[in-house]
Chains A and B, each alone.
Chain A
């Protein structure tokens, strides 16, 4: 390893829309070093890497490569400076070959004509460099597995002479043996003096690969340590451990809980293995887990949006089988999805139309609807969810995130569900609106709804849940009582089954 650091980032600050997400972070990387960056969801890892990759310009702070100060006006400038970043979402063309993908936009030419042989030769050489033997430069990218496509992305970055390589959660979608292959690849690059920033929450890998570890929390740098001088317990402690200072509505008492409304036994899908749980009327059961642990897959399988391979579901004691979301809705389930813009709302439609979207499939017809008890008018729904908008005809796309989420909530309220599943209920919502939604969820529970709540925000999870289930790599790692500690949750979520002291 050479003397001067390959990369130095000092005092990086970044704000979006008036909210500061990076508070003066420092980071340095040496040539041939594997430097891990860990932190919870939302700790600022992605933003920091995007600053490095030239996607965002920092508000304050400096960056130096090989000791020379540098700034990037555009991602291409970062590429030219030798920074390569492999995102979780690949930028590949599935119908083109590996070589064609690696050289897209920069195809080498000889006498005006694309030199295919050179493309394939150079790609083959790069594949050789990383030790890839499973496919060649002529294979169609669409035929490759996710792990292999990732190798193509890495090779693509290397073909641009990247000396600083950022890997963003590289093993999130890989099977165990593929992870081993990636390790080999990473180590081979290390030998060549490539410096790598390895973002991951999988502590096992971090300890296997990294020379140093930087911990980020809530947008700030906590500490940078040498791997040999720490252990996972300390790391987890550094990653979490906040004071629960926000107000949450009081939890339910065991007496308040009624019969079991939702019972899942042995649920298995392509990602999940043998998951069982139950939720009583009036209970809020939280679901914790790291990205990729299967929380959303669990919700979707219960809701009939994805097929189940095995397992049974009972609603109020009745066995059910949902082949479509429609069946679930008619059986009294509701699902507030993770991304309201993609699966929750028809953005060009009015508030009224969005609020009534689900109930129209359950209770058809105008006259019949008026005679069904409990159905609220759009105005009543707006009041119930504390919605701030101009009028029922306003198009939903003009609303703030918090108000949009309230429209989604209203949609499900109107169906008077027995079971409600929430996936990241307050994501992208400001503090004021968050509290309102929390109150609403607890109110629904008190009225007898069984609530299953997925959340990546540990304070929210702990503050709201009467019980917490923790998922890890497709299975239920364990269950914790209300008032669990963040570190306990994290331990289970990262796959450590050592008992908390």
Chain B
């Protein structure tokens, strides 16, 4: 039984400094960073040149699309939803880019603007159908996945036409040249950091706090005045737009194909879950999700180095997903 206390109430610790808060945030996503560190160290042991700027940046370049997809998917998942349409959206973006640009460099930037708009629109439709029509987002984005897959077929009949221009490809492939020490700072890495920082800032702003509160307890959020439908729809728009960005990078990096985005939605969800984000919403950080993507990519790199054939990569990924979620739900139960 508590007794009347002489000292006034308040927090035991004094106001936490910015540094401490940052440290705390880092620690709460601790596990994934530990895992990432272990994997990177392992790779470095097997291949010491990995830590050199060139190879390391190449790793980041490879990872960039997945990290961006993980950030976008995070917004939807932390608010309690699912976005299964991002993979096919990436394919659409890649194929559409080729068709629209047709190798003509002057078209690149207007087309990029259009592609981002397409991504945002797809997200908007996903969001509106899932909130206003109350269709579970699993189903909505599943349906959208089918629609987008069909769109690819329309345009390509299986074999994409058109071509990307050099300046478009440069985004996924090239970078700023002539920087001391590292030679080339890839554009995709810059985009990666920009989006990463943007995502973190967004989550710390009002919108982000409302988003995660909605995923945690949408009734309490609504009763506190949060516009739950709007917040969730915006999350889908973000997911779609960022998928478009990822598509632009993928197109530049890997070229045009009708399988460009195949399975990416599942990779993204793996990364997000690996990063400690809980399916169903309310917990987990965007930094964690992005770290999860980096970790997944590091894992694939490691498997390649170990000579494990590409096929078993899938098996490993499957085991990892299950283990990560089982571990997370075990921790959840423990702390309840």
Contacts and interface: CB of A to CB of B under 8 A. Distances in A.
Q: Do A and B come into direct contact in the complex, CB within 8 Å?
A: yes
A411 interface: yes
A343 B213 contact: no
Nearest to B4: A432
A34 to B, nearest CB: 39
B91 to A, nearest CB: 35
A433 B12 contact: no
Interface residues of B, number: 34
A337 interface: yes
Interface string B1-17: 11111001111110110
A220 interface: no
B9 A343 contact: no
Interface in A428-447: 430-433
Interface stretch (B155-163, B214-222, B287-295, B315-323): B214-222
A324 B222 CA distance: 8
Given A348-B283, A432-B1, A337 B209 contact: no
A345 B217 contact: yes
B210 interface: yes
A430 B10 contact: no
B84 to A, nearest CB: 25
Given A330-B225, A346-B216, A356 B10 contact: no
Contact of B213 (A303, A346, A365, A389): A346
What band does the interface of chain A fall in when counting residues whose beta carbon is under 8 Å from B? Answer: 35 or more
B11 A335 contact: no
Given A346-B282, A360-B209, A361-B210, A390 B12 contact: yes
Contacts of A346: 212-213, 216-217, 220-221, 282
A425 to B, nearest CB: 16
B226 interface: yes
A383 B9 contact: yes
A361 B225 contact: yes
Among B13, B210, B219, B225, residue most surrounded by chain A Cβ atoms (within 10 Å): B225
A360 B206 contact: yes
A385 B221 contact: no
Contacts of B212: 346, 349, 353
A366 interface: yes
B206 A365 contact: yes
A492 B225 CA distance: 35
A198 B5 CA distance: 44
A344 interface: yes
B12 A342 contact: no
Contact of A326 (B1, B3, B9, B225): B225
B54 to A, nearest CB: 40
A342 B223 CA distance: 10
Given A382-B9, A390-B12, A431 B223 contact: no
Contacts of B132: none
A348 B216 contact: yes
A347 interface: yes
B224 interface: yes
A391 B217 contact: no
A387 B10 CA distance: 5
Contacts of A385: 9
A193 interface: no
Interface in B1-45: 1-5, 8-13, 15-16, 21, 24
A360 B207 CA distance: 9
A300 B213 CA distance: 21
B220 A345 contact: yes
Contacts of A361: 210, 224-227
A134 interface: no
A452 interface: no
Contact of B282 (A348, A356, A365): A348
Contacts of A430: 1-2
B213 A325 contact: no
B194 interface: no
A328 B4 CA distance: 36
Interface string A364-403: 1110000000000001001101111111110000000010
A432 B2 contact: yes
A305 interface: yes
A358 interface: yes
A391 B13 contact: yes
Contacts of A344: 220, 223
B220 A343 contact: yes
A393 B12 CA distance: 12
Contact of A325 (B13, B24, B223, B283): B223
B210 A360 contact: yes
A362 interface: yes
Nearest to A392: B11
B329 to A, nearest CB: 14
B23 to A, nearest CB: 11
A430 B219 CA distance: 26
A390 B9 CA distance: 11
Given A357-B209, A361-B226, A393-B24, A386 B9 contact: yes
Given A347-B217, A393-B16, A356 B209 contact: yes
A383 B1 contact: no
B176 interface: no
B230 to A, nearest CB: 10
A357 B4 contact: no
B179 interface: no
B136 to A, nearest CB: 17
A367 to B, nearest CB: 12
A361 B224 CA distance: 8
Contacts of A360: 206, 209-210
B16 A392 contact: yes
A335 B223 contact: yes
Given A325-B223, A330-B225, A349 B15 contact: no
B213 A353 contact: yes
A337 B223 CA distance: 9
B133 interface: no
Contacts of B5: 388
Interface string A321-338: 000111011100001010
A49 B161 CA distance: 74
B9 A329 contact: no
A245 to B, nearest CB: 17
Contact of A357 (B12, B205, B224): B224
B219 A343 contact: yes
Contacts of A382: 9-11
B146 to A, nearest CB: 28
Contact of B223 (A343, A353, A391): A343
A325 B220 contact: no
Contacts of B227: 326, 361
Nearest to A369: B206
A379 B224 contact: no
Contacts of A347: 216-217
Nearest to A351: B11
9 contacts: A325-B225, A348-B282, A348-B283, A383-B10, A385-B9, A389-B12, A390-B11, A391-B16, A432-B4
A-B complex: 8 closest residue pairs judged by Cβ atoms:
A386-B9, A329-B225, A361-B225, A346-B216, A432-B2, A326-B225, A346-B213, A358-B224
Given A361-B227, A391-B11, A392-B11, 15 more contacts: A303-B223, A305-B222, A330-B225, A337-B223, A357-B210, A357-B213, A357-B220, A357-B221, A358-B225, A360-B210, A361-B210, A385-B9, A388-B2, A390-B13, A432-B1
Interface of B: 1-5, 8-13, 15-16, 21, 24, 205-206, 209-210, 212-213, 216-217, 219-227, 282-283
